[in-house]
Amino acid sequence: MSKLLYAKAASINEAEQFFIEAEEARYLAGGMTLLPTMRQRLVAPDRLIDLANCQLSYIKDEGSFIKIGAMTTHSQIALSDVIGRKINGLAHLASGIGDRQVRHRGTIGGSVANNDPAACYPAALLALGAQIHTHKRELTASDYFVDLFETALEEGELITAISVPVPQKSAYFKAPNPASRYALAGVFAAFMDDKPYLAVTGAGEQGVFRWHEGEAALAENWSKEALANLTISEEGLLSDIHASAAFRSHLVKQMAQKAVEACA
């Protein structure tokens, strides 16, 4: 077994150089996903590159959007005055991630890079049409999220920030796993440019997805009653020890109605 080296990068350029020099490197943000994965022997990097000193923790009000540094913690997002005022749904989402310890250590960049199918942020970013910034390029959320634990990131590519457009209104509701607080099904509802958006996490076999039928119904009538007669197909939904596809279908509809009602 090769010796595990630890490097604390002082800049993004230095982090990239550390990555190039290693055979199997991993970037370390809050460590809430990476460290448990290492304990389970699912990954065995030869170098951990700590990003804590790379100046990637910030929240900037850019008017029509809010730019969030990749190392910004869930707790900082949940307690941010500007996010609370402008994207209340995102602040509420962050406040429900894990427990207090996880929220103070975990980062938005680490969560988005991992793209766990039950993570909360993907629903918000997809519904709001966010831009994911890396040290090489920019990606729209719809292009970024590819499949379970799969993103459009290339080898060694580092998320630096996420730009989130400000909606007219937004809300997020999830049915959490009692143990992990991950979403069995979660729905982020947003109203932007007079159009409704619904993004679902925790339920899809291919990760986060938009519920287009629900959006079409809300375009005619923005109310939870507009979704009452819709049925979500079980095809393409996850079925596991935590919840069946049928139950997740029920939960998606229920969480969507709660989110739409909260927006109103």
pTM (predicted TM-score)? 0.95
- Specify the amino acid at residue 56: L
Q: Which CATH number is associated with domain 5-50?
A: 3.30.43.10
Domain ranges, ordered by start, for the chain = 5-50, 59-165, 169-263
User: What is the chain's length?
Assistant: 264
Tokens of 147: 């499949």
Q: Which pairing describes strands 59-61 and 25-28: parallel, antiparallel, or unpaired?
A: unpaired
> What is residue 2's predicted lDDT score, i.e. its pLDDT?
60
Residue by residue, pLDDT tens for the chain (264 residues) are 467 899 999 999 999 999 999 999 999 999 988 888 888 888 889 999 999 999 999 999 999 999 999 999 999 999 999 999 999 999 999 999 999 999 999 999 999 999 999 999 999 999 999 999 999 999 999 999 999 999 999 999 999 999 999 999 999 999 999 988 999 999 999 999 999 999 999 999 999 999 999 999 999 999 999 999 999 999 999 999 999 999 999 999 999 999 999 997
Q: Are 59 and 16 in contact (CB under 8 A)?
A: no
Q: What is the pLDDT of residue 81?
A: 98
Angle between helices 121-128 and 88-95 (to 10 degrees): 170
Amino acid residing at 42: L
Rounded to a whole number of angstroms, the CA Rg of the chain reads: 18
Among candidates 94, 119, 112, which has minimal Cα distance to 104? 94
Identify the CA nearest to 164 among candidates 228, 109, 118. Answer: 109
The total of other beta-carbon atoms located within 10 Å of residue 231's CB is 9
Q: 94 with 78: CB under 8 angstroms?
A: yes
What is the per-residue pLDDT for 1?
Answer: 47
Longest Cα separation, the chain? 60
Q: What architecture (CATH level 2) is domain 59-165?
A: 2-Layer Sandwich (3.30)
- What would the CATH number be for the domain defined by 169-263? 3.30.390.50
Q: Which stretches of 9-159 are DSSP H helices?
A: 12-21, 34-39, 74-79, 81-86, 88-95, 100-105, 108-114, 121-128, 141-144
CA of residue 47 relative to chain centroid, distance = 25
- 72-107: burial string, b at 16+ Cβ within 10 Å, e else: bbbbbbbebeebeebbbbbbbbbebbbeeebbebbb
Torsion angle of C-alpha atoms 164, 167, 169, 171, degrees rounded to 10: -30
